[in-house]
Amino acid sequence: MPTGQRVIRNTYRDSVSLMQISARIGALAGIRKASLVMATEGNLALLREAKLIEDTVQAASSDLLMVLEGETDEAIERAFAQADEALTGEAASTSRGPPSEISPRSIQMALKNFSEGNLALISTPGEYAAAEALKALRLGLHVMLFSDNVSIADEIMLKREAAHRGLLVMGPDCGTAIVSGIPLGFANVVPRGPVGVAGASGTGMQQVTTLLGRAGIGVSHALGTGGRDLRAEIGGATMLQAIDELAADSETRVIVLISKPPAREVAAKVLDHAQATGKPVVACFLGAEADSTQRANVTSARTLEEAASMAAALAQGLPPSHAMPESPEFGMPSIKPGQKYLRALYSGGTFCYEATLLLSSVVPYVYSNTPAGLAHELADVWRGQAHALVDLGGDEFTRGRPHPMIDHRLRNERLLREAADPEVRAILFDVVLGYGSHADPSAEMLPALEEVKRIAQRAGRTVALVGFVCGTEQDPQGLSRQETALKNAGVILASSNAQAVRMVKRIIDA
């Protein structure tokens, strides 16, 4: 096997540089071994031992020695040329530019360069979320815990830790908040103003804040509590703290509370607490017994629309009223015999719950995957049945899939299936705008809506499409842009969920 040797006189290179070049040259085709070293006694001994050099070499310790063993003399010559190039290139190849920024990997690490941080927004997978929240609390941060799949035990632990430290934990499973005008999670762009909201329901808060915004009434803050906060085990821990926060906030003049029906004793505790603030309170506990929310200073709202309307009135110093806005006029669709039923396909869980409550009290045979009021459980969540209201954000639909507010595919497919059912008279749906939601939901839905019309037409039917957009003009998706697109596609538009339900009721009664 041929070998080659070259000495570069009086040339010093660091041993690490030389090893690096040796490794590169040694990896060339046709080269078996490559060694670039300073020709010190120690290095020469090593090379002798590896049988790479003879006993005598004419090189001093200040000389650079290159020794190669290769398959052919040509390969060795080529390798020497490359080694020379590497030795000259070496000096010029240092990296340029400023040191790359190091991204923070943990909350504590982030705080080193972000000491002003005061809230952690946590949306990790559920199994890690409680630990992140606990760290945040221990480091003095308020927490919004967007993640779900956090155990009740961990929720209790976190809320105790928070209360002990005077910190707020919004969540777990808290989808929406607006703090000092900044949207957190799924939230809309609404003007700032006198109404403070504390809610155990994300879409419920989106409905109330957007309706207030559209009425020109601003929101001070909207604090989420997580869906389980008003259950007996948690006792409304976050809701009570949120009320305190809103009570102490000078900007907040009216307080709106939103929840599905709380445990009775929790409702009493929360309302007593709210009443004690002295600020006018609107309580919208969807589905709660009417007498459970009676308090002086507390106005009970039966729907989210009503809550927004009452809060707007109170904020303007007017008495709250139960009279809700007239529904807009719309052409009643012509129907064929057998077309009897409503199918509602919701992306917002609270909308579905509210609609089910409202409809089941006035119409028989109402089914849902999240039954409320007098409604029944759907036999198969994937199929319509009489009047069927489906929350497509339910676990059974989102497992391994993005939420329907982000990804419209599941709902579009379901629209076509419902349209093909000869018993369907009307399809109801929500469109939720704001940060976190799809960038252009109407565009995403239009092809499916067109297809619905064609399917019905081919069967000689008409299916009424009823929808509402939960959002504001200032949202990234633009309210009027979305509404116009839907209207042009033949959708009968309501301004709120409750109004949409009233319009649907007229259609199925006709």
Partner 1 sequence: MPSLLQGKLAVLNVGLGRFAEAISAAGGVVTHLAWTPPAHGDAGAGMALARLVNHPVIEKANQRAFDAFLAVSPVLRGVGRARTLLPKMTDRTLLHAGPPIEWARMCGPMQGAITGAILYEGWASDAESARAQAASGQIKFEPCHHHDCVGPMAGIISPSMPLWIVGDDAGRRAYSNFNEGLGKALRFGAYGTPVLSRLRWLETKLAPALESALSLVGGVELKPLMAQALLMGDEVHNRNAAASGLLLRRLASALVRSQEPSDKISEVLDFIAGNEHFFLNISMAACKLMLDAAHGVAGSSMVTAMARNGVEFGIRVSGLGERWFTANAGAVNGLYFAGYSEADAARDLGDSAITETAGLGGFSMAAAPAIVKFVGGSARDATTNSRIMRAITLGESNIFQLPALDFQGAPSGIDVRAVVDTGIEPVINTGIAHREAGVGQIGAGLTRAPLACFVQAVTALDKELSP
Contact call for residue 168 and partner 1 (CB under 8 A)? yes
Contact call for residue 104 and partner 1 (CB under 8 A)? yes
From 147, 259, 370, 412, residue interacting with partner 1 (rule: CB under 8 A): 147
Quickly count: other Cβ atoms within 10 Å of residue 508's Cβ: 17
**Virtual CA dihedral for 78, 84, 88, 93, nearest 10 degrees?**
50
Q: Closest Cα partner for 52 from 104, 1, 126?
A: 1
Size of interface with partner 1, in residues (CB under 8 A): 86
From 40, 82, 297, 398, residue interacting with partner 1 (rule: CB under 8 A): 40
Contact call for residue 116 and partner 1 (CB under 8 A)? yes
From 138, 264, 322, 454, residue interacting with partner 1 (rule: CB under 8 A): 138
Least CB distance to partner 1 at residue 161 (A): 10
Least CB distance to partner 1 at residue 186 (A): 9
Distance, in Å, from the CA atom of 429 to the CA atom of 482, rounded to the nearest integer, reads 14
From 246, 313, 344, 486, residue interacting with partner 1 (rule: CB under 8 A): 246
In this structure, are residues 473 and 479 in contact, taking their beta carbons and an 8 Å threshold?
yes
Instruction: Give per-residue burial for 399-437: e unless 16+ CB within 10 Å, then b.
Output: eeeebbbbebebbbebbeebbebeebbbbbbbbbbbbbb
Mark the segment that binds partner 1 (CB under 8 A) among 159-167, 264-272, 310-318, 421-429: 159-167
Quickly count: other Cβ atoms within 10 Å of residue 376's Cβ: 17
Contact call for residue 122 and partner 1 (CB under 8 A)? yes
Contact call for residue 123 and partner 1 (CB under 8 A)? yes
**Scanning the structure block, which residue is given the tokens 């389980």?**
228
Kindly identify the residues of this chain, within the stretch 411-450, that bind partner 1 according to CB under 8 A: 435-436
Q: Closest Cα partner for 415 from 379, 365, 466?
A: 466
Least CB distance to partner 1 at residue 272 (A): 22
From 140, 216, 325, 328, residue interacting with partner 1 (rule: CB under 8 A): 140
From 3, 124, 292, 297, residue interacting with partner 1 (rule: CB under 8 A): 124
Kindly identify the residues of this chain, within the stretch 304-343, that bind partner 1 according to CB under 8 A: none
* 174 sits in which H/E element: none
Least CB distance to partner 1 at residue 9 (A): 21
In this structure, are residues 210 and 183 in contact, taking their beta carbons and an 8 Å threshold?
no
Q: Which amino acid is at 460?
A: G
Least CB distance to partner 1 at residue 142 (A): 5
